[in-house]
Structure 1
Amino acid sequence: MSNAKVPNALVGERVILEPMMLEHIAALSVAVCDGELWRLWYTNVPHPDEMKTYVEAAIAAEARGEALAYIVRDKFTGEVVGATRIMAWDQLNRRLEIGHTWYAKSAQQTGINTEAKYLLLSYAFETLDVMAVEFRTHWHNQRSREAITRIGAKQDGVLRNHRLLKDGTVRDTVVYSIIDSEWPDVKQQLRSRIAQYAR
């Protein structure tokens, strides 16, 4: 990894969120193989052979003003370990969603997700001035649901028969959110959790 600062990156103590570009395809393809994440039926993670299409679609969504796509880089190792996205940004109603998040298995439960969410939430509430940040996940994705709850989000409800998945199954989507009045407390909790992971 170059030591040069990446424009528009969100930089933490352990994590760097860099705007997703075509040059990241190879590294993302390697990261997704750590744990063969595409095999998890309740997630929508691309197969390595689909990574080019995945990245191109993310960049196209950003060009349309619909999303801000990032790769997640481990600051200590320099390796790309996952991806995440700010999306569904409703500027009129000042809300957005954080989603399309996945991590290589070796990066899970290491504190990387906690700091990545801290960076994204700080940017959403303090720079984009939203009043709510939403998270959505599959009803059966227990690990994701626990992770969302740990960062301080509250469950809003369940969208039943919400989406048809690639394998033909129907997804019930659990919706969570953090609102602006909750952000100061959530921010402090996240900072405490990040400190616990510090080496």
Structure 2
Amino acid sequence: MWPTPVELKGQHVVLAPLSQDHCTTLQAASASGDLHRLWYTSIPSAEGMAAEIDRRLALQSAGSMLPFTVMTPDGTPVGMTTYMNIDATTKRVEIGSTWYAPSVQRGPLNTEAKRLLLAHAFEDLDCVAVEFRTHFINHQSRRAIERLGAKLDGVLRSHMRIADGTLRDTAVYSILAHEWPTVRSHLTWQLERPRP
């Protein structure tokens, strides 16, 4: 199995292997902003959280996903993220199925979570590329991906059907292994600079 579950720790975030033990707190995090009502993305409702955890853990058992619970440094679950669409032969992963409670959005938590995931992918797993995908019209997500230093590979038009039945155009971004040192320096600078 590649990659194997791991805990990644930073100053602003802890990424722990996803567990049903986190369900109740993740339910509260999702409910705090009615995140499941966003039509252009798929975030589990409080009622659907246990099933979503089971789904992600089943994909982990099948070797196509490595799910994490996103936690604040004190261990409070505030969201989820994953390595997904895992290609163990080429050593390529996508970072996706990510969501955070509103209380931790637009702060250092996301930047550090992505830095930890990217560092683990490139430095420990020896990935050749890390991919990010989002709905073409999810401008908040696209800006966040671009701030990481990922480059737009293209748009997959009518790529997939989403929960409301509409077809999603998917913006595909990636960071390649040779780009990682520059991206790492940029993310470190973002985390260390004073915030207003």
- TM-score normalised to structure 2 length: 0.94
Supply the distance in 2 between the matched residues of 1:58 and 1:196 (Cα, whole angstroms). Answer: 35
- CA gap 1:197/1:79 in 2 versus in 1, 3 angstroms: farther
| Structure 1, unaligned runs of 5 or more | 1-6
SS in 1 for 2:173: strand
Query: How many residue pairs were aligned?
Result: 192
Deviation >2 Å, runs of 4+ = none
Q: Percent identity?
A: 46
Supply the distance in 2 between the matched residues of 1:168 and 1:64 (Cα, whole angstroms). Answer: 27
1:16-165 counterparts in 2 under 5 A? 16-75=14-73, 77-165=74-162
1:3 is aligned to none
1:191 is aligned to 188
Supply the distance in 1 between the matched residues of 2:18 and 2:88 (Cα, whole angstroms). Answer: 22
Aligned-pair CA distance for 1:78: 3.3
The answer on whether the counterparts of 1:38 and 1:47 sit within 8 Å (CA) in structure 2 is yes
SS in 1 for 2:83: strand
Letter in 2 for 1:101: T
Supply the distance in 2 between the matched residues of 1:14 and 1:140 (Cα, whole angstroms). Answer: 29
Supply the distance in 2 between the matched residues of 1:23 and 1:78 (Cα, whole angstroms). Answer: 12
| Structure 2, unaligned runs of 5 or more | none
Aligned-pair CA distance for 1:197: 6.0
The answer on whether the counterparts of 1:88 and 1:96 sit within 8 Å (CA) in structure 2 is yes
Q: Deviations over 1:46-98 (max 9, x none)?
A: 111110110001111111111110011011x4321110000111122221100
- CA gap 1:151/1:178 in 2 versus in 1, 3 angstroms: same
Q: Deviations over 1:100-153 (max 9, x none)?
A: 000011110011000000000000001110110000000111000000000110
Aligned-pair CA distance for 1:196: 2.5
